[in-house]
Amino acid sequence: MGDLILGPFTNRARGVVRLPGSKSISNRVLLLAALAKGETRLRNLLESDDTRVMLDALRRLGVHWNRDGEDLVVNGTDSDFPVKSADLFVGNSGTATRSLAAVLAMQGGHYSLSGVPRMHERPIGNLVNSLRQIGASIHYLASDGYPPLRVEPAGIRAVDPIQVSGEVSSQFLTALLMALPLTSSPAGFASIEITSELISRPYIALTLNLLLRFGIAVEREGWSGFRVPTNTRYLTPGELTVEGDASSASYFLAAGAIGGGSVRVVGAGTRSVQGDIMFAQALAEMGATVEMGEDWMEVSRGEGDQLHGIELDCNHIPDAAMTLAMVALFARGSTTLTNIASWRVKETDRLAAMATELRKLGAGVEEGPDYLRIAPPEVWLSPEAGIDTYDDHRMAMCFSLAAFGPASVRVNDYGCVRKTFPQYFDVLSGLTASTCAVAAGRTEPAASDLSVCGA
């Protein structure tokens, strides 16, 4: 896909969005279902680039799965992948790359893992070092500390504790937690020690919750120590419904706060196991009206009410915090987002990318090693070169919200949203175009009313 011209939107966003399945949950449960004993039916699984690379990798490893209507049925392998030699392509999926690397190290086979060029710039050294502590044979095929990787058969031996850093990515710990039940140890468990502050803790809580659904109960000592049962096997829960993606919800909730709303998202709420539902609380702190139910969230803003800047430690919402940087453009005063160093090792260096693109719109931005301070534009700009997305789905979705400003904005290479939400711009258009039609006194919007259009 090419570029997209956005806005300016003429009225508020209003409506209901049913969320696609969570990307974080989808890729985790696909791997767990593949390792489990028995058949697992997965409902509301996300269909995106990230899940496609995981499904393709599993098929190459001999895992049988098939689509049954809107469900996906996975025939588990009881922890032993049938194929013992495979070259796997993982795109730019950090979850797939890191979790597969750890699990394949326990399979006694010959495997390679490679991805797109950006994936080869995303660190994996801390995970590899931890796996080598227990005897895994993993080799770098290019630069030390980064994919692509080669995994060879090795004798896995228990050590106590296994140390891993928590400061770069929580996915390293997630990968260990998923792989260690496949090992053996005299004590019947393996201990993990976190050697630094653990970032993105809600994603670890999500992993622990899913492990329990597949029969693995991990003991936790605060956020610094974990005890994982070994000599055990994953068991299918029979069926599992993937809840809606709380990270994707942030863009629509933000639209409700900026445009007045109300906007309701369905599929994630107070029962959610995803940390990004706490994004709604941040919007409330900025002055929006927030309501929540067990599987829905709704945001609005009263006429005359104004959003205001906040200072927020974003460790609990690392992905959704990017959306707050866009909401800051519509708030009174500056907004400071801290504890976001992990942005630098995502699909792009998101800290640098956000700072660069926000300045194009006229915002005052201070970029630190692990923080952004954003002052809203005094004069909104419409950059001739457009907003660059860096092949990063979250950049494209975040900057769609610039269309609520007073100037038209072009988003370059917007098709990168297919990584997690291929229909994103269609859904966003539905929230705004229907309102334009009402404002114009028509039951159907004319072409000129559509605030989102291809160009």
Residue ranges per domain, the chain?
Answer: 4-20+244-454, 23-229
Architecture of domain 23-229: Alpha-beta prism (3.65)
Residue 262: asked if its preceding bond is cis (omega within 30°), the reply is yes
Phi, psi torsion values for 416, nearest 5 degrees: -65, -10
Confidence check: pLDDT of 7 > 70:
no
pLDDT at 1: 56
CATH number of 4-20+244-454: 3.65.10.10
Nearest in space to 41 (alpha carbons), one of 241, 207, 243, 273: 241
Q: Rounded distance, CA 173 to CA 35, Å?
A: 18
Count CA atoms closer than 13 A to 451's CA, side-chain side: 28
pLDDT band at 434; cut points 50, 70, 90: very low
Cβ partners under 8 Å of residue 190, min gap 6: 134, 158, 160, 162, 180, 183, 227, 228, 230
Cβ partners under 8 Å of residue 181, min gap 6: 79, 211, 216, 228, 229, 230, 232, 233, 234
pLDDT at 9: 59
Q: Rounded distance, CA 105 to CA 92, Å?
A: 20
Percent of the chain with pLDDT over 70: 93
- To 10 degrees, the CA torsion angle through 15, 268, 260, 377? -130
Q: Residue 80 is encoded by which pair of tokens?
A: 């032993």
Q: What percent helix, strand, coil does the chain show, rounded to 5?
A: 35, 25, 40
Mean pLDDT is lowest, of 10-14, 383-387, 448-452, for 448-452
pTM, entire model: 0.89
Q: Rounded distance, CA 17 to CA 22, Å?
A: 14
Q: Rounded distance, CA 451 to CA 190, Å?
A: 54
pLDDT band at 163; cut points 50, 70, 90: very high
Mean pLDDT rounded to a whole number for the chain? 91
Confidence check: pLDDT of 304 > 50:
yes
Cβ partners under 8 Å of residue 112, min gap 6: 86, 87, 88, 141, 148, 149, 150, 151
Cβ partners under 8 Å of residue 187, min gap 6: 158, 160, 230
- State the residue for tokens 């005890």: 227
313 is catalytic: no
Confidence check: pLDDT of 239 > 80:
yes
b/e code 415-426 from CB counts within 10 Å (16+ = b):
bbbbbbbbebbe
**Residue 20 DSSP one-character state:** P
Mean local confidence (pLDDT), 330-342: 96
pLDDT at 402: 93
The 3-state DSSP class for residue 61 equals coil
Element (H, E) at 254: helix 246-259
Q: Residue 238 is encoded by which pair of tokens?
A: 């029979």
Question: Which amino acid is present at 67?
Answer: R
Q: Residue 284 is encoded by which pair of tokens?
A: 């409330």
b/e code 186-204 from CB counts within 10 Å (16+ = b):
eeebbbbebeeebbbbbbb
Active-site choice (50, 276, 319, 388) = 319
- To 10 degrees, the CA torsion angle through 356, 360, 363, 369? 0
Mean local confidence (pLDDT), 95-118: 97
Q: Residue 163 is encoded by which pair of tokens?
A: 């140390």
Question: Which CA distances in Å does 325 have to 130, 310, 353, 357?
Answer: 34, 11, 12, 11
Contact 4, 203 (CB under 8 A): no
Q: Rounded distance, CA 269 to CA 279, Å?
A: 11
Q: Residue 130 is encoded by which pair of tokens?
A: 């931890």
Contact 250, 276 (CB under 8 A): yes
Question: Which amino acid is present at 335?
Answer: T
Strand partners, 64: 75
pLDDT at 39: 98
pLDDT band at 225; cut points 50, 70, 90: very high
Q: Rounded distance, CA 336 to CA 313, Å?
A: 9
Evaluate whether 4-20+244-454 and 23-229 have a shared fold: yes
pLDDT band at 256; cut points 50, 70, 90: very high
Confidence check: pLDDT of 224 > 90:
yes
Confidence check: pLDDT of 149 > 60:
yes
